[in-house]
Chains A and B, each alone.
Chain A
């Protein structure tokens, strides 16, 4: 391999006239320099504002004392700093752009990158599991995407990114890689039921032609009862945005027919936002934040603080209506924010099954396209939050093996995020949807087959979830009450103890709910485990995806003759464990027997079968 850095003249136009990837080394799109610099600049500005803002009032005060000249300085210096930083960042981005080269060889994708620490990545096509796209606002205007290559592997799995590519390039790259992967493997590994064997003479360069799948008519179906959003607002929004987006529109160059597809209506997006439990936790954070504001205002110069004192005096006179009004306003604000957030991340949501893969694309501002091969799905989770349970809705999450790099890139998201196949589906239609989207999971145990836990599990749950944690809290509160009781007025203590009682009751009810809904079942193909409390989660794990199975028992469980079971899969970064506590000890042993390959039932389904 010749050193790419010394021979940049090797770079040739990326696409051949037929639309395939040209041989040789390729640069990324030059707009990367601008996009990356702007992204850095925005980040720096936000950091600067957050860092400086609290100190601004005293700073301005000293400025006022020192006169006009220095305040001019204070304006000029930051501008210079910003310009300098921007220049520096742009310079490095330019160097990075110059050094970033990729190429496709007969068997591998090569990526050369790095300024100080040079890096060469070689990915054999057989190892490529999925190629995903993501595009921020600027990128969408320019018609660019960030491309992520996910590879197969265990705990040390790493994702690779090509940061800026024209969409048609990216799509050509994707179909090229998958065509070559298929050519190398033979067609049998892609296990979609409708995939026909590829003809032996697959064009190695250029597109996988339409003739590869001659006899399949596209089979686009809708979930029964769920309107295939003709003329819905989402579709209209989609259409009106199509001009701006210009990318990730309908025409993927994947040539295989779509087997099943569905979307979300605007009404569903809004309902899903309103019914998301997590958004209500945000209220607490906002309240915490608001309590900081008076302090900030009092810093902001005496004249403001006088106004504020008058305001608070006025408010104290009518504290209760104020609090209620404030609470209501907060509630509405949180709802609005969550609707907006949800609309932005799930706007234009579409999921489809095609050629043995599940593809999901979503997002109004930042558009992302993610896909996963069905053979890579480690487990399926059907989740119902408390509010969604009340209105009879659920979400379907597909857990996959994630790469470490990718999850770092999307920081703030948990390691076992998976692929959200449907964020908001009527619970009664989960079965119908899964039957079409993932027929491989049709052998899963149904809700009625789940075995409940023995009665002693209720007592243990009550002790574990209600008694012990609340004893600790009560002890701490009692200590605080006796040590600092005088510092707070009586009604505060009444409030605190009332809150404690409410929490105690909630956790007691929660443990009863956990017991009533916890259950498990396994058959030849897979195991189902359901648990929760106010919310519920059911995990379906195919037997063939179990990395190892464990039973645990602590001394108390030993006395009560119960044991916990764990299923470990490779989902997420480094693996995921699903545990159910307090099965009858004999049943736990039965689970372990089931997990043994040597006791495998011969009547296994296709998906439960280990590869020969």
Chain B
């Protein structure tokens, strides 16, 4: 059996994943917790009302959930994902292996590639990285964290290889 693809993503992508996961977890936790928190304290201001044990309980529960999610998606997952991610750009195909629980390995013949792009979001840019995307007539695949020059080099390389691709399908 053929071994896994040899190339790895740039190590800095782990930091990018951590950061974006942290932003996500914090935003969603606030969306869940803030309304209850506000409600609890508006009710606490009302002396005739003393039924806020439920709110306190919910607040603690949600906070705990947020901490667990944070630990999972910010601390644990990115490094495992990095370890699992590997790819190869060969003469005639792109080979991608990824996934933590659900592992997938995909072969994209270069002859099917219609577009190649490099993209940079703010977090990627701050880390000097770019993501590289190939599009086929039936969907696209991204290689998420590469050094900018490497992503550009890859883009130009694949664009040359893909030039013979037939756009009519």
Contact = CB atoms under 8 A, between A and B. Distances in A.
B104 A551 contact: yes
Contacts of B139: 155, 547-548, 568, 574-575
Nearest to B104: A552
Contact of A152 (B90, B103, B167): B167
A598 interface: yes
A168 B107 CA distance: 48
A598 B90 contact: yes
A56 interface: no
Given A154-B169, A401-B169, A611-B166, A552 B103 contact: yes
A596 B5 CA distance: 13
Contact of A610 (B2, B111, B137): B111
B169 A155 contact: no
A592 interface: yes
Given A152-B168, A154-B137, A598 B92 contact: yes
Interface string A77-108: 00000000000000000000000000000000
B31 interface: no
Interface string B83-123: 00000001111010001011111111111101000000000
A377 B109 CA distance: 19
B92 A575 contact: no
A592 B102 contact: no
Contacts of A554: 101-103
Contact of A568 (B95, B138, B167): B138
B29 interface: no
Given A575-B139, A596-B92, A597-B93, A550 B104 contact: yes
A129 B168 contact: yes
A593 B2 contact: yes
Contacts of A569: 138
A154 B141 contact: no
B111 A376 contact: no
B104 A589 contact: no
Contact of B1 (A575, A586, A595, A597): A586
Interface residues of A, number: 39
Interface residues of B, number: 32
Nearest to B102: A554
A152 B138 CA distance: 13
Contacts of A610: 111
Interface in B110-169: 110-112, 114, 135-139, 141, 164, 166-169
Given A153-B167, A598-B93, A575 B138 contact: yes
Contacts of B99: 552
Contacts of A375: 168
B138 A570 contact: yes
B136 A547 contact: yes
A576 B109 contact: no
B154 to A, nearest CB: 17
Contacts of A595: 107, 109
26 contacts: A155-B139, A401-B169, A545-B169, A546-B109, A548-B136, A548-B141, A549-B106, A549-B107, A550-B105, A550-B106, A552-B99, A552-B102, A552-B103, A554-B101, A554-B102, A568-B139, A575-B137, A589-B2, A596-B90, A596-B92, A596-B107, A597-B92, A597-B93, A597-B110, A598-B91, A598-B92
Given A154-B167, A550-B105, A611-B164, 19 more contacts: A152-B168, A154-B114, A154-B135, A376-B169, A401-B137, A547-B139, A551-B104, A553-B103, A558-B103, A569-B138, A570-B138, A576-B138, A595-B107, A595-B109, A596-B92, A596-B95, A597-B109, A611-B166, A612-B164
Interface of A: 127, 129, 152-155, 375-376, 378, 401, 545-555, 558, 568-570, 574-576, 586, 589, 592-593, 595-598, 610-612
Across chains A and B, which 7 residue pairs bring their CB atoms closest together, nearest first?
Answer: A575-B138, A152-B168, A570-B137, A597-B92, A154-B137, A547-B138, A570-B169
Interface of B: 1-2, 90-93, 95, 99, 101-112, 114, 135-139, 141, 164, 166-169
